[in-house]
Copies of this chain bind each other. A is one copy, B any other.
Amino acid sequence: MRLVSPVIALLCASIISIACHAAEGMWTLDNLPRAQLQATYQFDPDDAWIHKVMHASLRLAQGCSAAFVSPTGLVLTNHHCAQRCIEAISTPRRNFIEKGFLALSPQKEVSCPDLEINQLQEITDVTARIQEKVQGKTGRDFTLAYNAIAAELTGQCIDGDESISLRCDVVSLYHGGRYFLYRYRRYQDVRLVWAPEFAIAFFGGDPDNFNFPRYDLDASILRVYENGKPVTSPDFFRINSAGAVEGELTMVLGHPGATQRELTVEQLLTLRDDRLVRTLLLYSELRGVLEQYGKSSREAARIANGELFSIENSIKVFHGQLDALNNETLMKRKRQEEQELQHFVATHGKYASVAPAWDEITRAEKVYRQIGDQHYFVELNKGCMSKYCNFARILVRAAEEKAKPDKDRLPEYTDAALPALEQTLFSAAPVYPEFEKVKLSWSLTKLREWLGVDSAIVQTVLHKESPDAAAAKWVATTHLGNIAVRHLLWDKPELVFTSDDPFIRMELSLNKVARSIRHRFDAEVEGAEQRAGRAIAEARFAMTGANSYPDATFTLRLSYGEVKGWQESERGVPPFTYFKGAYQRNTGAPPFALPASWLNARPKLDMNTPFDFVTTNDIIGGNSGSPVINRDAELVGVAFDGNIHALGGAFGYDGNVNRAVILDSAALLSALRNIYHADALLRELNAK
């Protein structure tokens, strides 16, 4: 975390080799960096501007950002954010991943089985109401009290909403320094309007991912419906047809998922030595499995493509994070910042009680190092990597949790949270048994490897069977692939406990131990760290004032910056690419093969149309699909990536080299017009 108080300004000048006035920060809309915006860009947004951008900005509940781009419910996001939908509605014969998709009229728009879109309506500060309940509590008591008040608040928030059109989340900012209730409109009827071919959406594929120059049309257009009709969306971003200009102020309105800029040094070390290493080893191996599985047939490749892409993306992210944490400069800065804060605590009597918080976190991390593998493989279900396992988990847990009063439930099973579970459980996305078997068999092998053959958990899961044999038998005999069976078990929880479905049986047999791991994790790791983190956050808050921004929490943030290249070793990287570059880079072989539509349209295109560009905006995973707007709240681009330096952004921002990678609105409109002939859509977008 970079701070902007006088104490730390000194630190900037003396120790850190990066510009201190860089566009750092993921700001909440109620606490914009007005002074910096005014000083650097002579921009002072008024309330109407803020109201508009808040309502035009959207979140895809599965982990992306998006925006209304018409008054008729049209939503612009990345192709890769809609990819699960595009895959789910594809078949071997109608492969929209390969061929792209365009609905020539609203009637031809196709329902996305898994997408949920949220539009932020209201933010309420509930810090006092929560602190009253959790005051003085630690460990499991803290967790229980927190869960109870959170359930009460979200329950009141959605009260009387029969049509599940509201979604309410309690959000902890500044690691518990402040609590807010976020109320969203929830849209679960989302339909695909347009998507380009995967080959151009992800031109350059994994090799070019997190790199720049890029030539990606990483965009798709959706529409949200309510009661069978497109919603009316008075607040939306008009698409600017000229696109972005070098040096101009750009604002990204999005939902960055998570940063770790406020973690203590001890937490960063566990992340480095334990969590990141485990995840990287496992994901790398799974990547190899999926790559090779995809080579077994064209259909296998189609089915595995989405997960492979997601795994590869995660590997780059985590590898970048590991490199950042292995960087002595960063860690030195983190140590120094921690010492500054500890010094502040030691010299300000009011915060004397904060002093033990660092040791508390160290103790919690020690517990994590003991139970982390179990938590990962059992409670996070990574030892049973298959849709069947997820279904079984939801059904078994819900059968127990729904019988309890709302306030006593695990947070993900409260009334306010059920619609999200139902969407996963009743997704119409196809389940491919062969593919599920591959992932299941592999993950069972990993469960056995990491917990050990003699672990009671492993013996409960596998008895004396091999992972291959168990996976084959379970997949052959389960009925959870059948949506009607899942409905029945959801509606009649008593049937869950007597079910003879192998996945339900397995989940039931592990339920007690999984819950006890969860309890210990909640109490001794997460609960303890939240409490200690809150204490540290309060001290930090006192030291730096509100002139700081909280770690990302997948809530709406504004990041400001400008269109600007960077210096890479000896070489300057210019901020824009152009259509012509894509044709130069085309090799004809994936992932560098332009689709036929692009090859055919070449004569009609202006080769100097800007394609992608980079800005200094401070973004991170979750910002994918974010609208990038100018001061007039016009959309000039859609963010889809960061450069390789942005991966260290999880822990800190370096304005010299961190860059957001953005699709230019000029490229989007030109492609819709000249390549995809989406004339009706363009009229609706009424682009300026």
Contacts and interface: CB of A to CB of B under 8 A. Distances in A.
A376 interface: no
Interface string A309-327: 0000001000100110010
Contacts of A140: none
Contact of A453 (B204, B288, B319, B469): B204
Interface string A275-300: 00100111011111111110110000
A331 to B, nearest CB: 11
Interface in A88-107: none
Contacts of A438: 292
A281 B453 contact: no
A211 interface: yes
A464 B442 CA distance: 34
Nearest to A316: B449
Nearest to A590: B466
Given A289-B289, A292-B289, A466-B589, A281 B449 contact: no
Contact of A288 (B280, B291, B326): B291
A680 to B, nearest CB: 37
B453 A207 contact: yes
Contacts of A208: 453
A172 to B, nearest CB: 30
Nearest to A585: B453
Interface in A457-485: 464-466, 468-469
A589 B469 contact: yes
Contacts of A286: 288
Contacts of A323: 273
A409 B280 CA distance: 41
A35 B449 CA distance: 43
A588 interface: yes
B587 A322 contact: no
A206 interface: yes
Given A280-B280, A284-B285, A315-B281, A452 B589 contact: no
Contacts of A592: 453, 464, 466
A448 interface: yes
A293 B295 CA distance: 9
Contacts of A288: 284-292, 442
Given A281-B280, A281-B315, A291-B289, A207 B449 contact: yes
Contacts of A590: 466
A377 to B, nearest CB: 14
Contact of A452 (B211, B287, B290): B211
Question: Chain B CB within 10 Å — which of A438, A453, A469 has the most?
Answer: A453
A282, A286, A292, A590 pick with most chain B CB within 10 angstroms: A292
A608 B319 CA distance: 50
A466 B284 CA distance: 21
Interface string A424-453: 000000000000001000100000110011
Q: Considering the complex of A and B, which 4 residue pairs feature the smallest CB-CB distances, nearest first?
A: A288-B288, A292-B292, A464-B587, A466-B589
23 contacts: A206-B449, A207-B448, A207-B449, A207-B453, A208-B453, A211-B452, A272-B326, A273-B326, A277-B326, A280-B284, A284-B284, A284-B285, A284-B288, A285-B285, A285-B288, A289-B292, A292-B292, A292-B293, A292-B438, A296-B296, A453-B592, A466-B590, A466-B592
Given A208-B453, A291-B292, 9 more contacts: A273-B326, A277-B322, A277-B326, A281-B319, A284-B285, A288-B292, A291-B442, A464-B588, A464-B589
